[in-house]
Amino acid sequence: MRASTPEHWQRFWAEADALELDDVYGTDGRMVREITALCDPRGTGNLAGLRILEVGAGTGRDAVTLARLGAEVLTLDYVSGSLGLTAKAAAAAGVTVAPVCGNGEGSPFADGTFDVVFHQGLLEHFRDPLPLLRDNIRILKPGGHLVVDVPQTFHYYTLGKQVLIALDRWFAGWETQFTVGRLEALMRSEGLGIARSYGDWMVPGLWYRALRKILLTRLGWKLPMQPEPVPALARLGERWRAWFGRRRLSLYTTPTIGVIGCKRGGPRAA
């Protein structure tokens, strides 16, 4: 079973760069929502004075949004393609996001550098997740937060992914997934307190996103990013998500989950 390599990810981000950024789904703003809820609970829209690191730069949209709110933001990745996408997004937005080329398991930062470290779609690519988590914690300030966002085990997305991995057809090679309980236990085992756990069902859903990508990349057909909703069904879905999303059981039904850990020893520690 093939493993992901820097060359693989360089090709992946080169292909992503060939698409318009508006044609690539991001995190639907959930990373920014979670970080601002932690660091700006009054909703002032001002993150000035915070140092934030995104590990695994992706397209850079979350980093750019956080920079627009006034934070000092850096992104760390071991391939230039991802860092290039982030630089392009930052330039288009008129903000500064500092790109750093390096490995997340041994990042080139001093201990206690950042108020927030976050990553999305990264931890599942490591057969042993602890070296990455330990380095994330090392570079956090006491009282700082680590936000880890990963695929959730009990979802049809995971079943389909594992079938493709077994057939050696999954775009990312080998990867795993987590339950919210397992991820919380991993973070507690490294000395973090748990500030919050969350899930995201994604709207539109994964089936629509997959169909849209196939049609766009194979045939050049462009479906809308968001299909036209049926108003009554959309309202019903919003109410259901608002109600069920407050139950812990919901975290075992979403395609993605996240856990926010607090580094003990400072004013933000739980």
Read off the pLDDT of residues 44-62 as tens digits, 9 standing for 90 and up: 999 999 999 999 988 888 9
Query: What's the CA gap between 162 and 177, in Å, rounded?
Result: 10
Is 195 a domain residue? yes
Task: State mean pLDDT over 183-210.
Answer: 87
On whether the CB atoms of residues 136 and 55 are closer than 8 A, the answer is: yes
CATH of the domain at 26: 3.40.50.150
Task: Look at residues 237, 222, 202, 184 and name the one whose alpha carbon lies nearest to residue 19.
Answer: 222
Query: What's the CA gap between 126 and 203, in Å, rounded?
Result: 27
Is 73 a domain residue? yes
77: left (phi over 0), alpha (psi -120 to 50) or beta: beta
Contacts of 117 (CB under 8 A, 6+ apart): 52, 53, 55, 136, 139, 140, 144, 145, 146, 147
Tokens 């602890």 — which residue? 130
For residue 204, cis peptide bond before it (omega within 30 degrees of 0): yes
Residues above pLDDT 70, as percent of the chain: 83
Q: Is the pLDDT of residue 233 over 70?
A: yes
**Domain tally, the chain:** 1
- List the single range of 2-16, 30-44, 209-223 with lowest mean pLDDT: 2-16
Task: Give the DSSP letter of residue 267.
Answer: T
51-55 sheet: strands from edge to edge: 97-101, 72-77, 51-55, 114-120, 140-151, 256-263, 192-200
Question: 53 has which bridge partners?
Answer: 74, 117
Is 223 a domain residue? no
Query: What's the CA gap between 196 and 36, in Å, rounded?
Result: 13
Is 210 a domain residue? no
Is 241 a domain residue? no
HSE-up of residue 111 (Cα within 13 Å, Cβ side): 4
Is 237 a domain residue? no
More confident residue, 176 or 59: 176
Query: What's the CA gap between 81 and 18, in Å, rounded?
Result: 11
Q: Is the pLDDT of residue 268 over 50?
A: no
Contacts of 186 (CB under 8 A, 6+ apart): 129, 130, 133, 178
Please give the distance of CA 214 from its chain centroid, rounded to a whole number. 22
Is 184 a domain residue? yes
Is 244 a domain residue? no
Q: pLDDT tens, 122-154? A: 999 999 999 999 999 999 999 999 999 999 999
For 95, the domain range is 6-205+251-263
